[in-house]
């Protein structure tokens, strides 16, 4: 990803700030998703064609993950190893989402649309975080 594109997306020319901003965006979106899964696992499960218990557990995980990512984003200089762990977790989540869709989920039409869309968003966070981290390490 070009330095200019990265700076435009993060609205800063400072790569270390871009890392924090992309982590913070990830934390907000992931946290909102997690809270929605916890608070409305039944209705969302019906809408998406996913077991409500699974959604509830995923929501708890996502909420905790988001809290950790938010804490990392709040650091003046997030540790590179921790940022890499977030990137790796996001990549794993995106891949497992698609695998689950193909291998064992039996989603509704909404779930068939939602699952790859959220996987793409998570993969996008991973790409932005990785690019900003690489730029910051230069």
Q: What is the DSSP secondary-structure string of 49-61? A: T--HHHHHHHHHH
Instruction: Please tell me the total number of residues recorded for the chain in this structure.
Output: 138
| pLDDT digits (tens), the chain, 138 positions | 656 555 555 566 678 889 999 999 999 999 999 999 999 999 999 999 999 999 999 999 999 999 999 999 999 999 999 999 999 999 999 999 999 999 988 999 999 999 999 999 999 999 999 999 998 887
Could you read off the pLDDT of 94-115 as tens digits, one per residue? Answer: 999 999 999 988 999 999 999 9
Contacts of residue 63, Cβ cutoff 8 Å, sequence gap at least 6 = 31, 34, 35, 38
Total-model pTM: 0.89
Alpha-carbon distance of 130 to 78, in angstroms, equals: 13
């Amino acid at each position: 990803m070009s330095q200019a594109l990265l700076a435009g997306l993060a609205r800063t020319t400072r790569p270390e700030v871009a890392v924090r901003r992309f982590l913070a965006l990830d934390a907000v979106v992931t946290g909102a998703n997690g809270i929605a899964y916890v608070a409305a696992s039944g209705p969302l499960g019906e809408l998406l064609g996913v077991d409500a218990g699974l959604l509830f557990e995923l929501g708890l995980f996502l909420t905790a993950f988001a809290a950790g990512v938010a804490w990392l984003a709040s650091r003046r200089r997030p540790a590179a190893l921790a940022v890499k762990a977030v990137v790796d977790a996001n990549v794993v989540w995106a891949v497992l989402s698609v695998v689950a869709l193909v291998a064992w989920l039996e989603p509704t039409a909404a779930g068939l649309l939602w699952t790859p869309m959220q996987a793409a968003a998570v993969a996008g966070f991973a790409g932005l975080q990785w690019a900003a981290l690489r730029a910051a390490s230069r």
